[in-house]
Structure formats: structure tokens, C-alpha cells
Amino acid sequence: MPWWLPASLSLSVVGLLVGGALLALGLTAGGLALADNLGQPYLWRVVWFTLWQAALSTLLSVAFAIPLARALSRRRFPGRGLLLRIFSLSLVVPVIVAIFGIVAVHGRRGWVNEALEAFGFSGVHYLYGLGGILIGHCFLNMPFVARILLQALDTVPPESWRVASQYGLRSRDLFRLIEWPAMRTVLPGVAGLVFMLCFTSFAVVLTLGGGPKATTLEVAVYQALRFDFDLGRAVTLALVQLVCCGGIVLAVLHLSLPGNLSLTEGRAYPRPDRAGWPGRLADSAMIGGAMIFVLLPLAAVVLAGFNAKAASVLTDPALWRALGQSLTIAMASAVLALLLGAALLISSRSLRHRLLRPAAANRLELSASLILVVPPFVLATGLFVMLRHVTDVFALAMPLVILVNALMALPFVVRFLGGPMMAEAQKHDRLCQSLGLAGWNRLRLIEWPSLRRPIALALAVAATLSLGDLGVIALFGSQDFATLPLLLYQAMGGFRMAEAAVIAAVLSLLCLLLFLSIEYGLGRMRFRRRVRHA
């Protein structure tokens, strides 16, 4: 098989979908008075709020993550490993489930107001609007940023702490001379990624925005299509968002700084700033506050699921129909994303190891990340515009949701599989060539033992992300076609919080079971080797 064929097939699928959607948007914009829509104050007010809330969310996430990462780097305590695992899974938690937990804690009848009223104080209302958006984005992104910064701090050579102890450096000097140089290598890139995630946020803004004043581009496109059916405004907003996202992604690609690799003798030296009660008190307060902020909404989801409505919700056929459709979409989109990503990496591997063209291989792998330039709602809008004159778009809702979710998961698949596939090729490619092993036989006999865990992890992450997605299904969903996130959003929108609690608990449990079953089941699967006796 030619080295270029797998990548050509994968890029053809991606190019057909993305290119067709963008072409449809471009052709439609020409006949919809694009200039008039661009001159409306409403559009630029939405653009400004989108940028403003993304900048504030990123600033708050990073501002709290830096001292939290320093505190976690200094302290060892029971449950630290579990806390770090929860932080690592913050991006995989279904956004709508996280929102339900936030409402259960910070809402008007939430735990915070109940505690205040129990002590004789009046309740406070701060959740809906910009404040709610910031709380939601910080809940989802701050643990992720702290985990990345902690990894950067763990790369500091132990000898640096020994030298710092010898010179008697204080905490602020350690931050300026040792910790900040380690964190700044990853901080621009991760801050850019968080800004991108907040800029294209949909479920958080739709649920916690609280009204027209807190509308972002993603939500405005949804409202223009779903409620007003103003195609001209929807296309204009989608094109503006596409241009903004393209600029953000290009900036993110140039923000990351190269890290420095240092030789070390491998011995561990204690940090000189671990002693002293002021530091202990500050670190305990930071870690305790982060635990309360992150764990309380998750605990609220679990506890709220046990209520009087549980029996009626669990026996509702609509719940099980939505559960089945959610699993179908999740598994189909995950498998499609895995196939597209593996095809790209197979060609990239040949370019890197056989043809010795690493620059071309890097560009091929980067092509998978360029899908981030096109937000899901822009892609869905383009597909809607492209197909609306050909067929009933809502009759093709499930295939369209599967395709869009697969494309959104493609960068994660390439990220998880790229390194292991290149390492495996470096060890076994010449052996496979000499033995004439290729295709299925190579995968079964040589590659699977070392790649099964990365493949399982990539598939699990892609499936879980698709299972908890509310973006595209909110546009194409209907009474007959709904997923669990859409059911949860509808229950919360109708203030049926008891029903929403049960659905949130079911969705959380389903995400956990799906992730673990794929990661552990597929990650431990072995092919049977048939031995023929002469």
C-alpha cells in the first residue's frame, strides 16, 4: 500500500466535510447582505462580550492555578494522587453535568444559600450572568491548568532545590528564579488553549448566561438558527467566529516556548520553602479551597440523584431511548475519529522513518489540529446550509452529529496516539520490513502489545467527549432524537431540577463506566496467536 493512501483517505473525508461546510457558508453569505449584517451593533456587541468573557475566564483560571500548582508541588498529603486524577479528568467531565453541580451549589436554592439562611443571613444571587460564566469556566479549566503547571514544576532538577537551600532563598525568590522559568515554558500555550475553549464555549454560556446581555458568538449562531431562523445573521456570525478562531489558533501555535532539558544525578532534595507555619497555612488554604470548589459540585450531582423522582425518571422510555442514542453516537464518532487519526499517523510514520522527511510528517500531524479552527457550531451551520435544499436535515441528524463529534475528537486521538506510534515504528519498522509484515498481521503480532493502551485511551477519551457533548445535538435534536445531555438541558431549562438530578447522575455514571470499560477492557485485550504444528 502506498504511504500516501491512508492520509489521503482521511484528509479527503475531513476536507469534504469541512470544505463543503465552509463553501456553503461562503456562497450563502454572498446572497444574504453580509455587509449589512456586519454593520449591525448587535454583532460587534456579541464579539466584544465573547472576547471579554474568554479573557476574564482565562485570567482567573491561570491566576488561581499558579499558586495551586506551587502548593501541590510543596505538599504531600493523603489523597493527593486521587485529587490529581480528578484534576486531570476535568476536560472529560460532561459540561452539562458540571453545570448542574454548579447550580446545585451556587444557585438560588443551592448549598451556599441554604448555609447562609441557616446562619440567619439572606441569600445571595450571583450565579447567572457573567459571574456564572466565569464560575463555570474556572471549574472546568482551573484544575486542568494547575495539573499542567504541576507537571512543569516536577521537571525542575532536584539540584536546583539544593542550591536554593545553600543560598537561603525565600519563597518569592524561588518563584522568580526557579518556578516561573519552568512554568512559563508551558503557560502561554495552555493559556491560549483555555482562551480558545472559553471563546467557543456553548453549554456554559447558554445555561449560566442568564439572558441576551451574556451572549457569545456560539450561542448567537444557535439562537439565529434554532429560534429566529435568520440564516443571514447565522452565516455572518459563523464567518466572524471562524476568522476569530483562526487567529486564536495561529497565535496558540506560536505561543509555546521550548523547554530546557537538564541532566540530573537522580537524587531527591527537599524544597527549602516547605517548613514554616505561614507557608503551610497558605498552602493548606489554597488546596482546601480548590478541593471545595471542584469537589462540591461533583458531590452535589451524586447526592441529588437520590430523590423521589428517581423511580419515575428511570422508568421513563425517553430516558432509555436517549441513553441508547447517546451510546450509539459516542461509539460511532469515537471509532470514526480513531480510524481517521490512525490513517494520518500511518502515513506520517512512513514519512518520518522510511522517507526521512520529519518536517513533512509534522505538517501532516498538524493538519489534524487545524480542525480546531472551525468550531463545532460553525461546522454544523455549514452542513445545515449545504444540505437543507437537498434533503430533510433533521432526518440526517444522527449521522451529522456523529461526523461533527468525530472531527472534534480527531486532534485528541492524534495527540494520544502520535508518540506511541512513532516510538513503536522506531523499534520495529526495520524488523517488519525484513519479515514482510504489513497491515493486519503487523498490527496483530507486533504493534498491538505496545499500542493497545494508547489506542484504548484515545478511544475512551473520544467516546466520553462525544457522550457528554451538548453543542451540535442542541441544533439538530428534536422530540424523537435526543441524547442525555439534551434531556438534562431541557429538564434544567424547565426548572425540573429533581428530574435533572437523576439524569445528571445517570449521565455521570454512564461516562465513568464507558471510559473505564474501554480503557481497561480494550487496553488489556490480547489477540490469540494460532500455533501450527508441523
Domain extent listing, the chain: 1-31+309-534
Q: Which three cell numbers stand for residue 5?
A: 493512501
- Report the alpha-carbon distance of residue 144 to residue 148 in Å, rounded: 6
Of the ranges 167-171, 175-179, 340-344, the best mean pLDDT one: 340-344
pLDDT score at 213: 80
Only one residue has cell 447517546, namely 326
What does the pLDDT average to over 300-313? 87
Residues 56, 130: Cα–Cα separation, whole Å: 10
Which three three-digit cell numbers place residue 521? Answer: 477492557
CA distance 379 to 18: 7
Residue of 454, 457, 447 lying closest to 519 (CA atoms): 457
Rounded to whole angstroms, the Cα distance separating 283 from 80 reads: 13
Is residue 534 over pLDDT 50?
no
Q: Is residue 266 predicted with pLDDT exceeding 50?
A: no
| Burial environment of residue 109 by CB neighbours within 10 A (0 to 12, 13 to 18, 19 or more) | exposed
- Has residue 532 got a pLDDT over 50? no
- Mean predicted lDDT score pLDDT of the chain: 82
CA 76/CA 80 separation, integer angstroms: 7
Asked if pLDDT for residue 329 goes beyond 80, the answer is yes
Quick check: helix, strand or coil at residue 259? coil
Q: Is the pLDDT of residue 2 over 80?
A: no
User: Is it the case that residue 340 has pLDDT exceeding 80?
Assistant: yes
What letter does residue 529 receive in the DSSP assignment?
P
Comparison of pLDDT for 161 and 471, the residue scoring more: 471
Q: Give residue 416's pLDDT.
A: 79
- CA angle 451-456-459, nearest 5°? 125
DSSP string, 84-136: HHHHHTTTTS-HHHHHHHHHHHHSTTSHHHHHHHHTTPPP---SSSHHHHHHH
Q: Which residue has the cell 456553548?
A: 202
| Angle formed at CA 92 by CA 152 and CA 421, multiple of 5 degrees | 65
Confidence label for 275 from pLDDT (cuts 50, 70 and 90): low
Highest mean pLDDT pick, 34-43, 309-318, 426-435: 309-318
pLDDT above 70 as % of the chain: 86
More confident residue, 326 or 222: 326
User: Which is higher by pLDDT, 266 or 9?
Assistant: 9
Between 316 and 257, the more confident residue is: 316
> What is the CB-side half-sphere exposure of residue 159 using CA atoms within 13 A?
5
Model confidence band, residue 263 (pLDDT cutoffs 50, 70, 90): very low
User: Looking at residue 394, what DSSP letter applies?
Assistant: G
Question: What confidence tier does 137 reach under pLDDT thresholds 50, 70, 90?
Answer: very high
Q: Is the pLDDT of residue 276 over 80?
A: no
Confidence of residue 178 (pLDDT cuts 50, 70, 90): confident
- Judged against a pLDDT cut of 50, whether residue 533 lies above it is answered with no
Band of the pLDDT at 105, cuts 50, 70, 90?
A: very high
CB contact at 8 A, 57 and 409: no
DSSP state of 170: -
- Is the CB of residue 401 less than 8 Å from the CB of residue 44? no
Question: Is residue 104 within 8 Å of residue 304, measured between CB atoms?
Answer: yes
- What is the Cα 16 distance to its own chain's centre? 24
Do residues 519 and 456 lie in contact, with contact meaning Cβ atoms separated by under 8 Å?
A: yes
Contact present, 13 and 360 (Cβ < 8 Å): no
Nearest 10 degrees: Cα torsion 263, 264, 270, 274: 10
The CATH code for residues 1-31+309-534 is 1.10.3720.10
Structure confidence at residue 403 (pLDDT): 92
Question: For 519, which DSSP code?
Answer: I
**Residue 326 confidence (pLDDT):** 94
Count of positions (residues) in the chain: 534
Alpha carbon separation from 17 to 2, 29, 294, 337, 380 (Å, rounded): 24, 18, 37, 14, 10
